[in-house]
């Protein structure tokens, strides 16, 4: 054991004298900050975005999964506040990094956010600091990228400070699994780091799963997300094969799902979206490329999933063709632009590609999404149009790209001429209406 005693830190955690700083207050950071504050910790959120910081300090939540009332109460009780002043990191005891990890245009990791967040921490580092990186990234980041920046301060990991990787597993919109009841994997740079970071999380999360290293924890997250990407690609290809063979892919999946072992259903759709599944596997394939290995499953899955919007547009063109219409000049209504149902996040949403591709072919495209009132696409701001009977009567084709629960699908199909349904959202409409629907 080095200069800093783990027992002392644990005792501070137990007494809630351990101040927690969360760097990056987005979909991941804010729910986590709230969870720590709910458990009685004094939490300070750090963000470069002044609007988010002001919003929190005024007790206003901007993340649908974070309840307005809970946030307001925690702020009022002095347990949660936010700032853009990174010098306050000095006053924290634990710091959790939740900044974005996007890709560059060439699909290489864009490490700027981790770099600048870590730099801000390094400038304010002191003995005893406990640091956890949650942003999804390539194996080796915590040890090879974050650690040297922190240690440039002269403080050493495992002796003066502690550093671990603990992947965030949040599933926006999931009512059953949230921060508290989703098990959390923790892998430290060395055993003391694993122990103390796991101890900290165990105060707010029901089950913590320590692993042998930060690299193992980084790779665990990438297996989870690559698993989804590959299986979604597989089922997307099944959808294409079923169409060629004249079989209903949805019926096939439902039947296969009756197998009580060895099968887990995935569903096709217009592609994949969000900040995770389309992006994270590329962090892994990039890392492997630097080691002369080609991650074939990742590349193939990405190719199939990325091509799905094009496939959807082809299906729309075929469906319009049956009515002796071309895509060019047709009025098309896209329903749902969020990347998945019942959320407001449009990052990497395949619906945006569907809109762009339809417009490239000369269609007149409008969209409706109850969660996304406004959208900037191709440099143009668009507004969600009101969903009315008149609108549905007027358009040549409705394309369902997101299966939001609050749509009345029976009513939508009843009032439309033609519906292309990429999500099987219309499965429960009355039989008489089914002939108007083309399913993926």
Q: Which is nearer to ligand NAD, 45 or 268 (CB)?
A: 45
- Check binding of 131 to ligand NAD (CB under 6 A): no
Q: State the CB neighbour count (10 A cutoff) for residue 390.
A: 8
CB of 429 to ligand NAD, least distance (A): 31
**146: which DSSP letter?**
I
Alpha-carbon gap, residue 59 to 19, rounded angstroms = 20
How many helices (H) does the chain have, and how many strands (E)?
14, 15
Q: Which is nearer to ligand NAD, 23 or 412 (CB)?
A: 23
Among residues 101, 305, 422, 424, the one that binds ligand NAD under rule CB under 6 A: 101
What Rg do the C-alpha atoms of the chain give, in angstroms?
24
Which of 405, 420, 315, 423 has the alpha carbon at shortest distance from 436? 420
- Check binding of 396 to ligand NAD (CB under 6 A): no
- Check binding of 45 to ligand NAD (CB under 6 A): no
In the structure encoding, which two tokens stand for residue 63, read together? 């993340």
Would you please indicate which residues are annotated as catalytic (active-site) residues?
A: 276
Alpha-carbon gap, residue 88 to 21, rounded angstroms = 9
Contacts with 186 (C-beta within 8 Å, 6 or more apart), sequence order: 132, 164, 165, 166, 194, 197, 198, 201, 208, 209, 210, 211, 217
CB of 435 to ligand NAD, least distance (A): 38
CA atoms within 13 A on the CB side of 400: 26
Place of tokens 């600048």: 116
Q: Which positions from 258 through 317 interact with ligand NAD, judged by CB under 6 A? A: 275-276
- Check binding of 41 to ligand NAD (CB under 6 A): no
In the structure encoding, which two tokens stand for residue 236, read together? 């997307």
- Check binding of 116 to ligand NAD (CB under 6 A): yes
- Check binding of 26 to ligand NAD (CB under 6 A): yes
Site string for ligand NAD, 322-361 (x = CB under 6 A): ----------------------------------------
Burial class (CB in 10 A: 0-12, 13-18, 19+), 56: buried
- Check binding of 21 to ligand NAD (CB under 6 A): no
| Number of chain residues interacting with ligand NAD (CB under 6 A) | 28
Which stretch in 96-104, 180-188, 298-306, 408-416 sits in contact with ligand NAD by CB under 6 A?
96-104
- Check binding of 173 to ligand NAD (CB under 6 A): no
Alpha-carbon gap, residue 96 to 204, rounded angstroms = 14
Among residues 170, 208, 312, 400, the one that binds ligand NAD under rule CB under 6 A: 170
Cα-based distances in Å from 191 to 20, 227, 342: 21, 28, 41
- Check binding of 165 to ligand NAD (CB under 6 A): no
Q: Which is nearer to ligand NAD, 221 or 315 (CB)?
A: 221
In the structure encoding, which two tokens stand for residue 60, read together? 């206003």
Which stretch in 162-170, 317-325, 353-361, 366-374 sits in contact with ligand NAD by CB under 6 A?
162-170
Q: Which is nearer to ligand NAD, 27 or 250 (CB)?
A: 27
- Check binding of 168 to ligand NAD (CB under 6 A): yes
Compute the 3-state secondary structure of the chain and give helix, strand, coil in percent, each to the nearest 5: 40, 15, 45
Which stretch in 94-102, 307-315, 381-389, 400-408 sits in contact with ligand NAD by CB under 6 A?
94-102
- Which spans of this chain sit near ligand NAD (rule: CB under 6 A)? 23-29, 46-49, 52, 98-101, 113, 116-117, 134-136, 168-170, 172, 275-276
């Amino acid at each position: 054991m080095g200069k800093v005693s783990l027992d002392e830190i644990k005792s501070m955690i137990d007494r809630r004298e351990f101040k927690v700083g969360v760097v990056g207050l987005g979909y991941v950071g804010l729910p986590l900050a709230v969870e720590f504050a709910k458990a009685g910790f004094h939490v300070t959120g750090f963000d470069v975005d002044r609007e988010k910081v002001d919003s929190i300090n005024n007790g206003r939540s901007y993340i649908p999964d974070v309840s307005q009332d809970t946030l307001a109460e925690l702020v009022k009780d002095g347990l949660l506040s936010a700032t853009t002043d990174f010098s306050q990191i000095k006053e924290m005891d634990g710091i959790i990094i939740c900044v974005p990890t996007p890709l560059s245009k060439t699909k290489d990791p864009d490490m700027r956010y981790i770099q600048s967040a870590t730099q801000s921490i390094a400038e304010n580092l002191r003995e005893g600091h406990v640091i956890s990186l949650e942003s999804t990234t390539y194996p080796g980041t915590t040890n090879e990228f974050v650690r040297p920046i922190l240690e440039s301060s002269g403080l050493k990991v495992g002796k003066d400070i502690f550093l671990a990787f603990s992947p965030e597993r949040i599933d926006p919109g999931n009512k059953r699994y949230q921060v508290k009841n989703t098990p959390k994997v923790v892998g430290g740079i060395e055993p003391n780091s694993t122990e103390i970071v796991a101890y900290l999380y165990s105060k707010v999360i029901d089950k913590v799963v320590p692993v042998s290293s930060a690299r193992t924890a980084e790779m665990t997250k990438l297996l989870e997300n690559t698993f989804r990407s590959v299986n979604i690609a597989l089922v997307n290809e099944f959808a294409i094969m079923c169409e060629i063979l004249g079989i209903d892919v949805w019926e096939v999946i439902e039947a296969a799902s009756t197998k009580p072992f060895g099968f887990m259903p995935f569903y096709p759709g217009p592609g994949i979206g969000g900040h995770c599944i389309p992006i994270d596997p590329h962090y892994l394939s990039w890392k492997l490329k630097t080691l002369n290995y080609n991650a074939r499953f990742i590349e193939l899955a990405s190719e199939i999933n990325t091509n799905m919007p094009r496939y959807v547009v082809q299906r729309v063109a075929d469906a319009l063709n049956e009515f002796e219409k071309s895509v060019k000049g047709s009025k098309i209504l896209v329903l749902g632009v969020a990347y998945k149902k019942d959320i407001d996040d449009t990052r990497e949403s395949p619906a945006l590609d569907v809109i762009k591709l339809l417009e490239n072919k000369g269609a007149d495209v409008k969209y409706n999404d109850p969660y996304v009132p406004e959208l900037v696409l191709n440099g143009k701001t668009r507004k969600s149009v009101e969903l009315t009977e008149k609108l549905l009567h007027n358009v040549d084709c409705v394309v369902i790209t997101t299966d939001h629960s609050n749509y009345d699908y029976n009513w939508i199909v009843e009032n439309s001429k033609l519906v292309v349904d990429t999500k099987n959202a219309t499965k429960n409409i009355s039989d008489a209406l089914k002939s108007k629907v083309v399913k993926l």
